[in-house]
Every structure is written in structure tokens, then in C-alpha cells.
Amino acid sequence: MSSSDARASSSNTFAPGGPDLALGPCAACAARGLAFCNVLEGEDLSRLLQITSETNAGAGQAVFYEGDEASHVYNVTEGVVRVSKMLPDGRRQITGFLFPGDFLGLSHDDAYAYTAEAVNAVRLCRFRRDRLLQLFDELPQLEKRLLGMAADELAAAQDQILLLGRKTARERVVSFLLGISKQAQRRGESGNPVGLPMSRADIADYLGLTIETVSRMITKLAKDGVIELPSSNKVHFTNRNALEDIEMGEEA
């Protein structure tokens, strides 16, 4: 493999000066409003911070690999993470892109069932899994929140299953572009135009297609006048209604 397979490196535990100062790192966190920790405040939050450390990963670096001991749970605070699984012969499927506020690694298993890699520069909060599970007993609202987020993820996974099982290449690409836009809106951006931080290869492996097909479909959508491409990694929606029709197979 290339240099891109190095692990996420730097990591240091927060050392809160005391209960009141503890919110420190979170006060400045852009993902705070979206993340599971947003149900906690004051003393409770500082409780969580005691088992929290921070990690960074550069573009292409792995946060962890499929099969690694599932010792930590992570929370994305900056950047985009891709989660993928591989078949022995190298075929890759990206099961999701994670944005600020999303968590990963809450496996029920001893080992991670998937690989997590940074798409661009990524910052994450890291929690020891066993300690976090213990903390649920003291902070039940945390567990409730995580169950809610797991339910949301399950719903998203089922949408992706519908996409992969039954949608055409064109519909898949449109669903993806609209999804990226909605995610940007959740983060407080306009969502139009929207940047595509990931490569065509990543998009292809997420949509169960090839790079060439993704490229062709994007080009075709631009020719059809429903999007514009200021650059290859930026999309401007010129007819969102038409796109929403295409997404569900209700093209004119």
C-alpha cells in the first residue's frame, strides 16, 4: 500500500482543570450541536470528558481497520470519514460517509466490522468503549441518545439498501448528490452549491458502480441541465425538483 495507509497518529487526553473548566474543548466544537454528547451539560459533560481524548487523521489515513480490536468509539468533529468493507479479492464497498456529529465504532463485537479512513483532514473525539458503556449507567440520557442515533443510522442503511438493490445508476448518483447537499444543510451550510470532498472512486464504491459510470452520469446530468459543475468536485443544483423526481424514478 501507499503512504496513505498510515494510522491516525496524534492523540492526547483532555486534562480538565476542574468541573467548570471542563466544557473547554466542547465550547469551541462545531459538531457539538449534532453529536451524541449534546445531551450533556456541566458536571455530566465533564464526566464524559474524563474518558475522552482527541485524534487526528490526514487525508487517506486509517482511523482503524476491519478486524482491529474494537477498543474505542469515535465521534467525528471535523472532516469526512469513509467507512468501508472489502471482499478478499479487493472489491470494496463504502457503507457510509461520516460527517461532523456522526459516531463510529459502536460495534457489539470484539473487532471492528469495517475500516474507517479519513477522506480529508479529520478530527475525532475518542472514547474507550468499555468506559463509555460503564458511563451509560450514570448518564442514561447518553445511552438514550445513542439508541436514537443508531435507529437513524439503521434507517439510513435501509435507504442505501433500496438504492443499491433497485435504483439505476442515474438515480443512485442523484440520490447521492442530494444526500450530500442535505448533509451540508444539517451542518448549517446552504447546500447549493455543495462540495464533494471525496473522489469519484469513493463515490463509485459507495454507490456500487464504477468510476466511469459515476463520471458519465454526472456529465449527463449537467448536459440535461439539472446541475452545473463549477469544478469536478463542486455541484450546483439548477433544478432541484427535477432531481428529486429522478431520485425516486419519476423522471419526466
Partner DNA sequence: CGTATACTTGAATTGAGTCAATAAGTGTGG
Partner DNA sequence: CCACACTTATTGACTCAATTCAAGTATACG
The residues of the shown chain that bind DNA, judged by CB under 7 A, are 2, 168-170, 199-201, 208-216, 218-219, 229, 231-233
Window 113 to 152, contacts with a second copy (CB under 8 A): 113-114, 136-137, 140, 143-144, 146-148, 150-152
Specify the residue, 142 or 221, whose C-beta has the smaller distance to DNA.
221
Contact 234, 193 (CB under 8 A): yes
3-state secondary structure of 117: strand
Q: In the bound complex, what is the minimum distance in angstroms from residue 15's beta carbon to DNA? A: 35
Q: In the bound complex, what is the minimum distance in angstroms from residue 156's beta carbon to a second copy? A: 9
3-state secondary structure of 82: strand
Residues 59, 164, 222, 229: which binds a second copy (CB under 8 A)?
A: 164
Q: Which residues share a beta bridge with 118?
A: 81
Can you list the alpha helix ranges (DSSP code H) found in the chain? 24-27, 42-49, 129-138, 140-166, 169-186, 200-207, 211-223, 240-247
Residue 87 interacting partner from a second copy, DNA, none (CB closer than 5 to 8 Å by kind): a second copy
Residue 108 interacting partner from DNA, a second copy, none (CB closer than 5 to 8 Å by kind): a second copy
Our finding on whether 249 is near a second copy (CB under 8 A) is: yes
Specify the residue, 21 or 161, whose C-beta has the smaller distance to a second copy.
161
Other residues' Cβ atoms within 10 Å of the Cβ of residue 140: 11
Closest alpha carbon to 217 in 241, 251, 183, 190:
251
- b/e per residue, 60-81, with b = 16+ CB within 10 A? bbbbbeeebebebbbbbbebbb
Which residues, 6 or more positions from 234, have their beta carbon under 8 angstroms from its beta carbon? 193, 194, 195, 196
Specify the residue, 21 or 111, whose C-beta has the smaller distance to a second copy.
111
Residue 169 interacting partner from a second copy, DNA, none (CB closer than 5 to 8 Å by kind): DNA
Residues 10, 27, 108, 241: which binds a second copy (CB under 8 A)?
A: 108
Which residues, 6 or more positions from 181, have their beta carbon under 8 angstroms from its beta carbon? 191, 192, 194, 235, 237
Q: In the bound complex, what is the minimum distance in angstroms from residue 17's beta carbon to DNA? A: 39
Residue 15 interacting partner from DNA, a second copy, none (CB closer than 5 to 8 Å by kind): none
Binding mask 189-228 for a second copy (x = CB under 8 A): ----------------xxxx--------------------
Q: Which residues share a beta bridge with 117?
A: 62, 82
